[in-house]
Structure 1
Amino acid sequence: MKRAILAPEHDEFRSMVRDFIAKEVAPHRADWDEAGRPPREFFLRLGELGILGLQAPEEFGGGGETSFVYPSIVFEEVARAGVSFGSYTVHSCVILPYLLEYASEEQKKRWLPDFVAGRLMTAIAMTEPGTGSDLAGIATRAERTPDGHYLVNGAKTFITGGVTADLVLTVCRTSPYDPDNRRSGLSIIGIPTDSDGFTVGRTLHKLGLHQQDTAELSYQDVRVPVQNLLGAEGEAFGYLAHNLPQERLSIALNSVAHAEAAIGHAIAYTRDRKVFGQPVSAFQNTKFVLAECSAEVQAARIYADRCLELLDHGELSVPDAARAKLYCTEVAGRVIDKCLQLHGGYGYITEYPIARLYADSRVTRIYGGTSEVMKTIIARDLGL
């Protein structure tokens, strides 16, 4: 189905990304899998191509684009090729909105030029051991000192890009916990990873996403200038909620792209693979399974594209972003599983892209808020 959101300039951008992946990413997939992340030179290259700062203002070296369609094209091409851009999505699609919305002019001048060039890679640290999706339960604390610093103590886990990052936007408690208002007292502080007392702990070994480093972080009396406070003190929970629609839509868009790629892999495999003297694609079951998958993914694509339009107009609500994430990730889970089944035993071999897609996509129903959390948000929007 023709997509109404795409224009000729998007096709040109897609061609550039596709060529870049074929020449500079795909040949290194196995090496980056083994290393657990792309080399730093890769992010510098993304910076040169303008991919890291598509939505950053031109005055800071960015592309000045207001539409999220361009990042969504990156998702599609990465999925189609079966490769990874490491922590690109978190850096450019999750963290950049925080900097654009809440950073002071001084912070933007200090951070954004290196951010868009790939010289300053970032991560955001919210999740803590034992808190999971309950951000109001964050215990990492930051106490002001008389000499104009914060003293940060605590621990974070499941931090995407935590090993690669030079700057970690850390959500911490800057005022005592209030049981009557659990969401109050949280702030976001930019902490350079070369700060004394900041430690990258274990690199966590995951089921999938092997080219995206995920780490535990430790803060022991980390001194950070108060000038690194992002926005106003105590307002972090509102900031996090404000930026959740784009983060969750990013996950939804990635999921649709993965599902589309899975169908492509299944079609190619079943056409080539012969059983009982004929291609697997010739069997009615294969045709019906892929027809079902195509219908589900088309519906998910249309819904995701509509949410993308709403995001570009500043109209995507938290409940609708939750619906997009829930629906698209669940569709992707079903479709990728069916496409893997059509591969038979080879679908379980990591040499085949469908096996990697299966492993990589499973976490989409967990991070950014679990499917159960999405259902809770949607139910609340229904007045339940």
Structure 2
Amino acid sequence: MGYILKKDQQDLVNLAKDFAEKKVAPFVHELDQAKEPGQKLLDIYQEAVDMGFCGLEIPEEYGGLGQDYYTVAAVYEELAKVDAGVATAIAASGLGLKPVLQHGTDAQKKLYAEYLTGEKGSGFCAFCLTEANAGSDAAAGTTVAVKQGDEYVLNGTKCFITNGGVASVYTVFAITDKTKGVKGISAFIVERDRPGVSVGKEEDKMGIRLSNTTEVIFQDVHIPADHLIGQEGKGFIYAMQTLDLARPMVASLAVGIAQRAIDESVKYAKQRVTFGKPIIKHEVIAFKLADMDMKTEVARASIINFLNTYYAVPKRNYTREAAIAKCFAGDIAVQVALEAVQILGGFGYSREYPVEKLVRDAKIMQIYEGTNEVQRMVIAGFVANQ
């Protein structure tokens, strides 16, 4: 792999690989086909929390593992090789955490750490930004938080929220001043057990079925003023900063899917014999595998390029690099997974084999956390202003 890691970092990546192969893989097919994954999936989630995977980014002084994003990305890739749904659930907790780590108070960081390390609740959190009419255009949201004395009253509905039904705490974006547009959006910490918080139906998804996706409804939810993250009116900026940092992590999930597609293709191509030799010996298949490998390694390198930029020049705007990593890796995941289906032929099209699921899982990588069309708009803006 392209990540150059120290021994302790690699040990954690190996731990994730072992967890995915031994604790997740035996149940993936069953849970992917189930209408309601149920308790078995919750048991897997709990083990992920117990092993610290939801607290990878939390600094050690708050009880987390304090890992850098090179390690986090490599861990996510290993998890996504086995199941991108479980990897998405874990990564979504990191998404909800990021605004608190970047802009929260010490008390807020401690509160969030208690949830994600499993001291409180489920060990999972959720990032509540998307609404029915405010997906790619996040500024079009209608959820509001009205200041009343020393608290805010929150009303609104968020949709397509990863971990919405299993999270114990949410990072919620709401309008605090309707007259200011995007400058009137603020961010809040909202615990799941507050009166007025409820969860809507779980989405019946095409892929990443081992992740939980629901509506989250806030009806006259009273939030202490000290649950405001950072400053009023800065929520949209915080959300965009969070997504810039999270999109390369989505790319790492996409790379995991692509790598698994390559691995399954190679295994099959070595065994399948046509015209007297394994199909991997036929140039048309060998070159197809070479293209799949090149694209996947470049996608991985785009994540590393982002991280090099992020750590080398902390104050620099890295929106472009984040968009490139997410967009390229998302596209590659779909392309490589489709090629795997082609290599396996009829077996690739059958649900008894894993590669058709890779296609279903890969498709969301072009959609969530900013569609690839939006990423191209972002990149084009930077190109035009060079």
How much does 1:221 deviate? 1.5
Distance in 2 (CA, whole Å) between partners of 1:31 and 1:145 is: 49
| Alignment correspondent of 2:125 | 122
Contact 2:13 2:74 in 1 (8 A): yes
Distance in 2 (CA, whole Å) between partners of 1:194 and 1:10 is: 36
| Alignment correspondent of 1:139 | 142
Total equivalences in the alignment: 377
Which stretch shifts more, 168-177 or 27-36?
27-36
Match of 1:6, SS?
coil
**Length-normalised TM-score, structure 1:** 0.91
How much does 1:166 deviate? 1.1
Contact 1:167 1:192 in 2 (8 A): yes
| Alignment correspondent of 1:62 | 64
Distance in 1 (CA, whole Å) between partners of 2:174 and 2:324 is: 29
How much does 1:116 deviate? 2.1
| Alignment correspondent of 1:301 | 300
How much does 1:152 deviate? 1.4
Tell me the percent identity.
Answer: 29
Letter in 2 for 1:306: N
Contact 1:304 1:324 in 2 (8 A): yes
How much does 1:317 deviate? 0.4
1:206-251 CA-partner distances (Å, limit 9, x unpaired)? 1100000111122221222222211111110111122222211111
| Alignment correspondent of 1:167 | 169
Asked if residue 53 in structure 1 is aligned to residue 52 in structure 2, the reply is no
Letter in 1 for 2:238: Y
| Alignment correspondent of 1:319 | 320
| Alignment correspondent of 2:241 | 242
| Alignment correspondent of 2:369 | 368
Letter in 1 for 2:51: L
Which stretch shifts more, 275-284 or 127-136?
275-284
Contact 1:86 1:213 in 2 (8 A): no
Letter in 2 for 1:351: E
Contact 1:203 1:216 in 2 (8 A): yes
Match of 2:54, SS?
coil
How much does 1:360 deviate? 0.5
Contact 1:310 1:316 in 2 (8 A): no
Mapping for residues 1-384 of structure 1, pairs under 5 Å: 3=2, 5-33=4-32, 34=34, 35-36=36-37, 39-65=41-67, 67-82=68-83, 84-85=86-87, 87-92=89-94, 94-117=95-118, 119=121, 120-146=123-149, 148-178=150-180, 182-313=181-312, 314=314, 315=316, 317-383=318-384
Q: CA RMSD in A?
A: 2.1
Q: When you count helix as a share of all residues, which structure comes out higher?
A: 2
1:40-78 CA-partner distances (Å, limit 9, x unpaired)? 44344333323222221222111223x212212222222
Match of 2:117, SS?
helix
Match of 1:330, SS?
helix
| Unmatched runs of 5 consecutive residues or more in structure 1 | none
Distance in 2 (CA, whole Å) between partners of 1:383 and 1:195 is: 47
How much does 1:263 deviate? 0.9
1:114-147 CA-partner distances (Å, limit 9, x unpaired)? 322374421011111122211111111111123x
